[in-house]
């Protein structure tokens, strides 16, 4: 759009500069000519500097073919009326009042552009702080729980893009729940910061993109606007390794204490149990089977045998000797364990399937101990699986993690969620006749080999136990 200005005063100059600075989206206006009686008028001087057409008689503008709009800035209504009567029909004209509105709109727009530029600069600085200087997870949360900003570290951990997290509720993104955090065990640090108007700190369990639990230490710092808390900056630090290490240390201390106690108790009980069993069996031999005491003596003998089994488990648990490691193929150990439990599986009408990784390297382990651990898991799976069910045993070699895995999966009823974190505790059992030591012994064996064991279960869908044993330097060369 080509514009001619009638009236080369201060407003003309300001309008010229404003149009030059402003970025238009729909049109491309430019001033091509200025008319004023005074050659030294500011707008005329500016037009001459820019090499535009200038004249002392506005009538010189009316015959030009390159003008689309005439802006009258003299404020003289007679001049504006004269322009309206003489201009070409294809040319539009606006008076000084309308042009003032046009000029103010441009001024506001220009100010907004400057504000946007400042905001962009602040945003760039904020990005540097959030993504480069601070390595922890950072969110800016409004008082309404909606995420206003989030750094790249947290987006990567959550497996989200910025557009997927912005304006979403923080508790939906971090906890996958529909209501804000609350209660003594799961307080909301945002609420604490808003209510106290001071920084708050708490520990939460977040869920990553695979819905695995991650322990986070969360610090929340309130944001103020005119003495009102409008939100908070939340900085989270992953303390999962620290928590797990603490759990391992507590578990080891507990196992050592229980082991010592178990050894003492087992030795003291074993001798009187042998006496009771022997006496009951001798008395049973001296009476006829139809004697009323015969069945009672049999019950005493059977219960005594059950007690001896518990004592044997206690001794096994207490011993946990240092592994005597040699080079072994884990597939061979697993296969022997399956064969040893094959008759029990057939008796229970449970099929056992297995899938072995062919590229399994040899590893240094105590064959007897690892076999005991795997047999314990298979027998547990058999007890949990109903007739007609199936147990699947898989082995896998992870080159990236430098470890071998053995997984035992059953099609049983599964384990309740509130009991999952107790399955490896000594003497915890869900069986009527169980000792609660099988999984504790298995856990100890795997830990002594520098490995780990975990469990996944869902009620009604079965349970999977996975053993992971590391490939240490020299394991591949072991004989």
Structural domain containing residue 409: 326-470
Residues 339 and 462 grouped into a single domain: yes
Kindly report each contact of residues 207-212 with a partner whose C-beta sits within 8 Å and lies 24 or more positions away, as own/partner: 207/174, 207/175, 207/176, 208/157, 208/158, 208/159, 209/157, 209/158, 209/159, 209/160, 211/176
Parallel, antiparallel or unpaired: strands 326-328 and 363-365: antiparallel
Summarize pLDDT for 105-137 with one digit per residue, the tens.
555 555 555 555 555 555 554 554 455 445 678
Residues 218 and 252 grouped into a single domain: no
Residue 367 in contact with residue 326, Cβ under 8 Å?
Answer: yes
Q: What is the model's pLDDT at position 425?
A: 67
Low-confidence residues of the chain, pLDDT below 50?
125, 128-129, 132-133, 473-479
Residues 74 and 179 grouped into a single domain: no
Number of independent structural domains in the chain:
4
Summarize pLDDT for 236-281 with one digit per residue, the tens.
888 888 887 777 677 666 666 666 666 666 667 777 888 888 888 8
Residues 225 and 247 grouped into a single domain: no
Closest CA to 103 of 22, 2, 43: 22
Q: How far apart are CA 385 and CA 383, in angstroms?
A: 6
Residue 221 in contact with residue 282, Cβ under 8 Å?
Answer: no
Residues 333 and 460 grouped into a single domain: yes
CATH number of the domain encompassing residue 77:
3.40.50.720
Q: How far apart are CA 382 and CA 389, in angstroms?
A: 9
The two tokens of residue 144 are 């309404």
Q: What is the model's pLDDT at position 318?
A: 57
Q: What is the model's pLDDT at position 228?
A: 87
Q: What is the model's pLDDT at position 353?
A: 92
Residues 300 and 259 grouped into a single domain: yes
Q: What is the model's pLDDT at position 429?
A: 63
Residue 428 in contact with residue 420, Cβ under 8 Å?
Answer: no
Residues 372 and 465 grouped into a single domain: yes
3-state SS class at 412: coil
Q: How far apart are CA 390 and CA 85, in angstroms?
A: 98
Residue 230 in contact with residue 224, Cβ under 8 Å?
Answer: yes
Q: How far apart are CA 171 and CA 399, in angstroms?
A: 37
Q: What is the model's pLDDT at position 177?
A: 82
Q: What is the model's pLDDT at position 53?
A: 92
CATH number of the domain encompassing residue 303:
1.10.287
3-state SS class at 348: coil
Summarize pLDDT for 162-176 with one digit per residue, the tens.
888 888 898 888 888
The two tokens of residue 413 are 């009823």
Residue 405 in contact with residue 468, Cβ under 8 Å?
Answer: yes
CATH number of the domain encompassing residue 356:
3.30.565.10
Residues 79 and 204 grouped into a single domain: no
Residues 418 and 312 grouped into a single domain: no
Segments in 417-473 forming alpha helices (H): 438-448
What is the C-alpha R_g of the chain?
A: 42
Kindly provide the residue ranges of all beta strands, DSSP E only, lying in 347-459, ordered along the sequence: 351-355, 363-365, 390-398, 403-410, 452-457
* Structural domain contains residue 390: yes
Q: What is the model's pLDDT at position 105?
A: 59
Residue 90, Ramachandran bin (φ over 0: left; ψ between -120 and 50: alpha; else beta): alpha
* Structural domain contains residue 129: no
Closest CA to 407 of 454, 441, 449, 439: 454
Residue 322 DSSP label? P
CATH number of the domain encompassing residue 188:
3.30.450.20
Q: How far apart are CA 203 and CA 215, in angstroms?
A: 7
């Amino acid at each position: 759009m080509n514009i001619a200005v009638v009236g080369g005063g201060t407003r003309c100059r300001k309008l010229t500069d404003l149009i030059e600075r402003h970025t238009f989206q729909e049109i491309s206006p430019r001033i091509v000519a200025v008319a004023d009686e005074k050659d030294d008028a500011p707008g005329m001087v500016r037009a001459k500097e820019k090499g535009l057409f200038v004249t002392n008689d506005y009538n010189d503008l009316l015959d030009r073919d390159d003008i689309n709009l005439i802006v009258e800035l003299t404020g003289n209504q007679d001049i504006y009326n004269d322009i309206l009567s003489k201009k070409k029909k294809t040319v539009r004209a606006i008076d000084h009042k309308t042009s003032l509105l046009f000029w103010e709109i441009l001024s506001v727009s220009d100010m907004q552009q400057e504000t946007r530029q400042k905001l962009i600069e602040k945003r760039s600085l904020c990005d540097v702080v959030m993504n480069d200087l601070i390595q922890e997870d950072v969110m800016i949360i409004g008082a309404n729980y909606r995420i206003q900003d989030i750094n790249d570290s947290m987006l990567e951990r959550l497996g989200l893009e910025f557009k997927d997290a912005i304006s979403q509720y923080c508790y939906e993104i971090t906890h996958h729940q529909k209501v804000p955090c609350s209660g003594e065990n799961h307080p909301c640090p945002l609420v604490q910061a808003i209510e106290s108007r001071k920084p708050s700190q708490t520990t939460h369990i977040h869920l990553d993109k695979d819905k695995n639990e991650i322990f986070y230490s969360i610090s929340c710092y309130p944001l103020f606007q005119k003495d009102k808390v409008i939100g908070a900056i939340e900085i989270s630090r992953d303390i999962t390794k620290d928590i797990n290490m603490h759990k391992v240390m507590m578990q080891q201390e507990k196992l050592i204490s229980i082991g010592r106690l178990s050894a003492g108790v087992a030795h003291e009980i074993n001798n009187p149990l042998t006496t009771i069993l022997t006496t009951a069996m001798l008395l049973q031999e001296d009476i006829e089977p139809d004697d009323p005491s015969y069945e009672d003596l049999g019950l005493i003998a059977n219960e005594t045998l059950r007690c001896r089994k518990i004592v044997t488990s206690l001794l096994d648990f207490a011993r946990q000797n240092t592994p005597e490691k040699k080079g072994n193929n884990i597939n061979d150990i697993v296969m022997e364990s399956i064969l040893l439990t094959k008759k029990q599986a057939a008796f229970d009408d449970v099929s056992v399937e297995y899938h072995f990784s062919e590229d399994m390297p040899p590893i240094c382990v105590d064959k007897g101990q690892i076999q005991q651990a795997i047999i314990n898991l298979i027998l547990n799976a058999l007890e949990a699986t109903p007739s007609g069910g199936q147990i699947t045993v898989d082995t896998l070699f992870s080159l990236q993690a430098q470890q071998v895995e053995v997984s035992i999966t059953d099609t049983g009823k599964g384990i309740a969620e509130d009991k999952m974190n107790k399955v490896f505790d000594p003497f915890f059992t869900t069986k009527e006749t169980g000792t609660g030591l099988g999984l504790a012994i298995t856990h100890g064996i795997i830990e002594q080999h520098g490995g780990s064991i975990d469990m996944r279960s869902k009620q009604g869908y079965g349970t999977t136990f996975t053993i992971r044993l590391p490939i240490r330097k020299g394991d591949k060369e072991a004989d």
